[in-house]
Amino acid sequence: MIVHGVELELLRRGSGRPIVLLHGFQQIEPDARCVELLSRHGEVIAPSHPGFGRSARPKDFESVYDVVNLYAAFLDSLPHEKVTLIGFSFGGWLAAELAVRSCHNIERLILVDTVGIKVSGPDIPDITDVFNTHPDEVKRRTWHDPANAPDFNGMSDEALIMRHRNWESLSLYAWHPYMHNPRLAYWLPRIGVPTQVIWGMSDGIVRPDYGHAVTRLIPGARLVSIPNAGHHPEIEQPEIFVDHVTSFLNR
């Protein structure tokens, strides 16, 4: 799919009410269990961010501002008046920015273990520095059960190269300031659509207290926690995750 001259890889599954997924540190896999489950309740539309997966990244396209504006154009280009927008981790940051700016085409908002704001003081890290922390520690903090982590030894060379490309793009967009917009917390109260925040109780990348802070800033937002899940509840507990999503959509 081409949006504003940028070619985006796009995953689509199911039919019915549109559910747009904005992925986190890695693009959403086509065979992900949560995609299959969500597609039973609507049309899942999952683009890969510019520079992730097989999506192009234009020259000088290097800020969250660029990605958010591109996704605003993406939402406008869809043949739906309104969508449910679900953002995971880094994608949650993008989704929150979109909800602040473009509420006219977002019917409901779901933020999953999102990043994007600064909660503590300038010298206290809110979010694990995934670029400068030992990979074993990042793995430990990411997963409730480390056995759920991807097996790099079993990946093809193409998949490993793609993951490296994703990591490079993430660092370009989110390294400085690290994983947040200093002004986003100020603007979150502008979000006027029904919002649910979902958090893995074992998340060590952004701890549950961070989720409470996000929830308090969005009028009417509700927080639900998923046990036995870390930073990726949609992967570690997909059935419970989708149950929460569909309950919220049908409310």
Neighbouring CB atoms inside 10 A of 121's CB total 7
CATH class, 2-249 region? alpha beta
Per-residue b or e along 219-228, where b marks 16 or more CB atoms closer than 10 Å to that residue's CB: eebebbbbee
In 3D space, the residue among 225, 219, 230 whose CA is nearest the CA of residue 192 turns out to be: 219
The model's pTM is 0.97
In 3D space, the residue among 149, 139, 101, 108 whose CA is nearest the CA of residue 20 turns out to be: 108
Q: What pLDDT was estimated at residue 226? A: 98
DSSP 74: H
Domain ranges in the chain are 2-249
* Contact assessment for residue 200 and residue 144, using Cβ atoms and an 8 Å cutoff: yes
* Contact assessment for residue 237 and residue 115, using Cβ atoms and an 8 Å cutoff: no
pLDDT tens by residue, 174-199: 999 999 999 999 999 999 999 999 99
Please give the full DSSP string across 198-235, using - where no structure is assigned.
Answer: EEETT-SSS-HHHHHHHHHHSTT-EEEEETT--S-HHH
Q: Which of 59-63, 89-93, 171-175, 176-180 has the lowest mean pLDDT?
A: 59-63
Token pair of 194 as six digits: 């029904």
Report residue 71's pLDDT band, with 50, 70 and 90 as the boundaries: very high
Find the mean pLDDT for residues 66-78.
96
pLDDT tens by residue, 131-143: 999 999 999 999 9
